[in-house]
């Protein structure tokens, strides 16, 4: 069993990313061979700032290590550093119809946002298919927003295999078993996201304890005055209960006041994030180490990626 988890490079990683994506990856490394991939190539499909991109790529790699990803078991790579991703991308473009790419929801949304549309935004999901297929992975944990892209990866693998002969493993999308869906603390009907308008709803993974305490103490609740797990009528309170459960790993007890619940949530979030912050600070003192980890990851995954590309080149009719 081989898994690949992809991360967009972003500077604003939050509690949702840790509980929904990084922790499941850490847990999966006990049972599956895993690759953690930073999609820095994908980050160039919209307008970007080169120094910020470099910082974010290293930042996500640093955070993965701080969150407990063990580089001895999980290869951490950037898709730009393994050239087979880009090479296979082109071969896969040759089995993708223009209309298939143009009808992707994410393309429609992002291209409607105004400004010039990069051609790479259109081919974004083909590159994502390449990220997956080049490593012969069986499982890809993806959230709802990426399921259409995952489906395209499956379609392209199946089509290539049917036209040119068995070449790719057809991947399966999975929901990580232990993934929590953390909602925005200021607007608990929306998920906590780096793109949410206000920072008041988000707990950053590097927020100092004082900021965490303030954010949680200001979290939106309701006027019902009882602590119940009721997503429809008490989304704020329910989110706090779920955060507590996700952080401690055990069901939340009974609470008679919102204040007491918030105090326990603050304590649990702090207990979860304090060691992450500490390890992150140590790693940040040594950026050379993080670069080395990426180089090691690349060395580890490359032989299999090269073999896949060789197979695909031969199947599609290219000279070796
Ligand atoms: P964002 O919404 O902040 O832009 P991404 O879409 O980049 O986050 O997601 C990165 C990873 O983190 C994905 O695997 C996604 O499922 C997970 N994730 C993001 N937000 C949450 C959340 N609020 N709760 C749980 N998991 C989340
Ligand atoms: N598109 C994914 C996202 O926005 C990131 C990503 C790129 C990815 N390549 C991938 C995810 C391959 C899984 C597999 O989150």
Residue 261 has pLDDT above 90, yes or no: yes
Chain centre distance of CA 219: 25
The secondary structure of residue 136, as a DSSP letter, is T
Chain centre distance of CA 103: 23
From the candidates 2, 110, 214, 298, which is the catalytic residue? Answer: 110
Instruction: State residue 177's pLDDT score.
Output: 65
Output the CA 4–ligand 2 centroid distance in Å. Answer: 9
- Cα–Cα separations (whole angstroms), residue 313 to 95, 132, 164: 13, 17, 10
CA distance 236 to 93: 44
Q: In the predicted model, what is the mean pLDDT of the chain?
A: 95
Proximal ligand: closest to the CA of 146: 2
280-296 residue pLDDT tens: 999 999 989 999 999 99
Q: Which of 315, 222, 203 is nearest to 269 (CA)?
A: 203
Chain centre distance of CA 97: 27
Instruction: State residue 143's pLDDT score.
Output: 84
């Amino acid at each position: 069993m081989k898994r690949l988890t992809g991360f967009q490079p972003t500077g604003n990683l939050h509690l949702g990313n840790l509980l929904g994506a990084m922790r499941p990856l850490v847990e999966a490394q006990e049972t599956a061979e895993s690759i953690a991939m930073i999609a820095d190539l994908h980050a160039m499909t919209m307008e970007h700032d080169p120094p910020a991109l470099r910082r974010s790529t290293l930042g996500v790699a640093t955070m993965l290590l701080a969150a407990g990803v063990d580089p001895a078991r999980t290869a951490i790579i950037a898709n730009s550093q393994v050239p087979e991703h880009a090479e296979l991308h082109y071969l896969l473009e040759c089995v993708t119809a223009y209309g298939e790419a143009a009808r992707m929801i994410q393309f429609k949304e992002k291209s409607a946002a105004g400004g010039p549309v990069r051609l790479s935004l259109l081919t974004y999901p083909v590159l994502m298919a390449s990220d997956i297929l080049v490593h012969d992975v069986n499982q890809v944990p993806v959230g709802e927003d990426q399921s259409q892209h995952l489906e395209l990866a499956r379609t392209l693998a199946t089509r290539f295999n049917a036209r040119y002969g068995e070449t790719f493993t057809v991947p399966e999308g999975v929901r990580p078993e232990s993934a929590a869906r953390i909602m925005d603390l200021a607007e608990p009907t929306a998920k906590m996201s780096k793109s949410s308008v206000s920072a008041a709803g988000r707990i950053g993974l590097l927020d100092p304890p004082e900021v965490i305490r303030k954010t949680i103490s200001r979290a939106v609740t309701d006027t019902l005055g009882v602590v119940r797990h009721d997503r429809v009528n008490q989304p704020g309170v329910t989110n706090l209960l779920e955060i507590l459960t996700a952080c401690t790993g055990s069901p939340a007890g009974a609470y008679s006041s919102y204040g007491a619940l918030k105090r326990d949530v603050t304590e649990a979030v702090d207990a979860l994030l304090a060691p992450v912050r500490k390890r992150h600070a140590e790693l940040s003192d040594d950026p050379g180490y993080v670069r080395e980890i990426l180089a090691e990851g690349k060395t580890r995954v490359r032989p299999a990626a090269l073999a896949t590309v060789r197979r695909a080149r031969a199947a599609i009719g290219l000279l070796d």
